[in-house]
Amino acid sequence: MQDIRIAAVAMRSKVGETTANLARMEKFIQEAHAQGVTLICFPEMCATGYSIEDDILCHGESIPGYATDAVVRMAKTYGMVILAGVAENGQNGRLSISHFAAAPQGILGVYRKIHLGGVEQRIYQPGRRVPVFRFDGFAFGIELCYDAHFPELSTILAMEGAEAIFIPHASPLETPSEKRDRWMRYLAARAYDNSLFVVTCNQADLQRKGLPLPGVAIVLDPRGLVMEEFVGGGEGMIIANLKTDDLDEVRGNEKRFFLRHRKPEIYRDLLASMLEDVPDDTFGRREKLLINRYK
């Protein structure tokens, strides 16, 4: 891993106001650029706005498309990697909750939310792939909001080489301090168990009717300890230096890097039986390969 200076943004995004949302993003990008940031992460569906109502169906984005092209231009202008989210047009009129990584040379890749909350399943379709993104010696994964409740996903990313996981949210219905306290119960575990950095940020719109979104952002180190945090409820940005030495200190310690002591032979057969009925698509093949790879 190479040392990298990152930023995480709590930001308000209005549904259907993609152009205005992109302009708001650029202000944070300009500020981060002035402070030497290499990678900046925005909340879930920051460009299109987040919704669980039918209004979002009129505002889906293609990838590549208007929003991604705009973010790639910003990435090139400011020499940064930008993690941004959209409601992505999919098959059969359904959308994907997608987050893409834009670099100066173009789109590095796209993560499509795998674990959908109950209310999301009516409108959105789940993703099937678990990519690891790489940029200038730094490897990272992306999860989205509800995904973080499923520890296997973080472990797969760690086993595939991720040194950090970015977890953008559009998580409503709590005060900022309640959101922060709940996140710490499981996001710290994702960092600690997998010995990697975890960076998370939420949309910020406490005045939103029916779905208030408390702005919170946290960076956790590979021990699960808070490096930086913003719990202001409104918009805000935090900056942190993710250092190789901090990662190596944990992963180089026989007693603290837990993944090396996994016992996949105990549960390999269980996983194999669970996957017997999984279609042999990309996701199914990947899981089966992981079972064999780590036996």
Q: Which positions ≥6 away from 225 have C-beta within 8 Å?
A: 188
**Residue 95 confidence (pLDDT):** 96
- Do 89 and 158 fall within a single domain? yes
Q: What DSSP assignment string belongs to 192-235?
A: HHHTSEEEEEEB-BTT-TT--B-EEEEEE-TTS-EEEEEEEES-
Distances (CA, A) of 203 to 16, 28, 121, 234, 252: 15, 14, 20, 9, 36
| 216 CB neighbour count, 10 Å cutoff | 31
Provide the pLDDT confidence category of residue 185 given band limits of 50, 70 and 90.
very high
Residue 91, pLDDT above cutoff 80: no
218 and 156, same domain (yes or no): yes
Checking if the pLDDT of 218 tops 80, the result is yes
Torsion angle, alpha carbons of 28, 32, 37, 41, to 10: -20
Distance CA 186, CA 189 (A): 5
At residue 201, the pLDDT reads: 98
Burial 251-267 (b: 16+ CB within 10 A, else e): beeeeebeeeeeeeeee
Q: Are 77 and 173 in the same domain?
A: yes
CA distance 294 to 262: 9
Tell how strand 197-202 and strand 226-233 pair up. Answer: unpaired
CATH number at residue 45: 3.60.110.10
| Residues spanned by the domain of 295 | 263-295
User: Does 41 reside within a domain?
Assistant: yes
Residue 258, in any domain of the structure? no
Both structure tokens of 22: 């992109």
Q: How far apart are CA 236 and CA 40, in angstroms?
A: 13
pLDDT digits (tens, 9 = 90+) for 252-282: 887 778 888 877 777 777 766 666 665 555 4
| Confidence band, pLDDT 50/70/90 cuts, at residue 219 | very high
Q: What is the mean pLDDT of residues 57-70?
A: 95
Residues 22 and 119 occupy one common structural domain: yes
Residue 181 lies in a domain: yes
Q: Is the pTM of this model over 0.85?
A: yes
Residue 65 CA to chain centroid, in angstroms?
20
Task: Give residue 269's pLDDT.
Answer: 72
Q: Are residues 184 and 280 in the same domain?
A: no
Residues 183, 287, single domain; the answer is: no
pLDDT value, residue 187: 98
CB 147 within 8 A of CB 153: yes
In a domain, 113, yes or no: yes
Domain identity same for 239 and 290:
no
* Residue 276 and residue 174 share a domain: no
Do residues 57 and 144 share a domain?
yes
Is the predicted pLDDT of residue 284 greater than 60, yes or no?
Answer: no
**Residues 193, 270: one domain?**
no
Distance CA 272, CA 291 (A): 7
Is there a contact between 21 and 49 (Cβ–Cβ < 8 Å)?
Answer: yes
Structural domains of the chain, count:
2
Q: Biggest alpha carbon distance in the chain?
A: 52
- 153 and 272 co-located in one domain: no
The pLDDT-based confidence of 198 (bands split at 50, 70, 90) is: very high
Residue 166 placed within a domain: yes
pLDDT of residue 291 exceeding 60, the answer is no
Together in a domain, 283 and 189: no
Higher pLDDT among residues 207 and 137, named by residue: 137
Higher pLDDT, 72 or 259: 72
List the structure tokens of 3.
């040392």
